[in-house]
Structure 1
């Protein structure tokens, strides 16, 4: 009888983590940013049937990258958890923090199990509050850890490069069109530093809008409304650059 090949627990976990990271990196990125009236989700996703961004509950939304069947199962489980908790207790008892803890337990259990492969997914759970300082954004990697994010976050694809780009340019108090423009610019950057052009048809965009009068704050931006916001963002960026150029010219004349 042959002796089974021994692999140390540390090496086994490292191999599982590397396997999951490679699967996640093959997917197109998702970007989440805070703006003055809420949280915007932007994904490079030409499909209109398979969503990367979805509503979970009144003020909570979910974004994911990786294997669709795996993160869709997690999304459905999150909706069931939120509905049951809201029905059993109170709608205000359903929070992004509680949902993130549930997802962390599920992902951590699967990642640690030797009987099945780790999930090739990375999740973002966000909740919009009554004010910008009350917004919550949580990132959940494949191993079930929870990262509390602020301002902006990117997952999947070239997430490190996109996150660095966002950290340098994102600021508090941005309008929706400005935040959307920044998100599209970050997604359009390739690993070699060159830029692509992403159209409205290639994007999946949704917001958690704190100013929305309905109890449910989630809304998808589609068609002409999305194109108008993209055009507004481009116009504001051009006007900003023009004003900077004129101010530099006036200072040089002095």
Structure 2
């Protein structure tokens, strides 16, 4: 009688974690930066059809790296959760904390029970009435949740990008300053470090940028197209792309193609 093949639970979990981390690291990074005017989301993304940054509810937004089909499923589930909760109770009952908890349960269950974990990393953010009331939560492939303050970088070259953010971020930055820092940090990736020539220059039409604006009355989410980005960054504008509009699912904007973990 043959002896059944045995793998310890510790080894199984380690293999799953390594698999997920490798998938996430292959993709391009997303940066989230808090500022006096709200919360800025930025990613290097030339696609006009597929978004890595999206609106979830009135003052709540979502950003993700990893496999597009997996984090898109999570985004849709988050929109349904928010709509149902807002309709059943009150719109103010839809919070980033509640959404992060729901995502944590889903990701944790998938990681422990399924043979293949989700190759995704998420940020769920909510802009408050004042900078001190902003909420930013980072969720990893295994359902772990971290309460972040000031800035977050996730995806490929996250360590180099986080170091750039840590060295230059400060409280009270305005929208333009936060956006310039986010783009500079995206350009300070492993490729730029290897070249030793300083941060790469990323053109506005290669960026996907959105902002949760504190001053907007209800729907705080706004996408920034190449023309608006050029003005804020002080670069030459590109002829195409909207200046920015509330995202209802139809607004075109830059995004990543469905690459293996993006």
TM-score over 0.5 (shorter chain): yes
Question: What are the Cα deviations for residues 52-97 of structure 1, in whole angstroms up to 9, with x where unaligned?
Answer: 0000000000000000000000000000000000000000000000
Partner residue, 2:242: none
What SS does structure 1 have at the residue aligned with 2:63? Answer: strand
CA drift of 1:134 comes to: 0.3
Gaps of 5+ in 2: 236-262
- Residue 173 (structure 2) pairs with residue 174 (structure 1): yes
Partner residue, 2:204: 200
Instruction: List aligned pairs for 1:19-34, cutoff 5 A.
Output: 19-34=19-34
> Which structure's CA Rg is the greater one?
1
TM-score (norm 1): 0.88
TM-score (norm 2): 0.86
Structure 2 distance, partners of 1:79, 1:88, is 14
Structure 1 distance, partners of 2:39, 2:106, is 25
1:212 aligned to which of 195, 209, 216: 216
Partner residue, 2:99: 99
Partner residue, 1:87: 87
What SS does structure 1 have at the residue aligned with 2:223? Answer: strand
Instruction: List aligned pairs for 1:39-118, cutoff 5 A.
Output: 39-113=39-113, 115-118=114-117
Partner residue, 2:11: 11
Structure 1 distance, partners of 2:90, 2:222, is 23
> Which has the larger displacement, 72-81 or 171-180?
171-180
Question: What are the Cα deviations for residues 130-171 of structure 1, in whole angstroms up to 9, with x where unaligned?
Answer: 000000000000010100000000010011121121111100
2:224 aligned to which of 221, 225, 245: 221
Structure 2 distance, partners of 1:223, 1:46, is 11
Q: Which has the higher contact order (CA 8 A, sep 6+)?
A: 2
CA drift of 1:175 comes to: 1.1
Structure 2 distance, partners of 1:210, 1:56, is 16
- Extract structure 1 runs of 4+ deviating beyond 4 A: none
What SS does structure 1 have at the residue aligned with 2:74? Answer: helix
What SS does structure 2 have at the residue aligned with 1:112? Answer: helix
Aligned length: 230
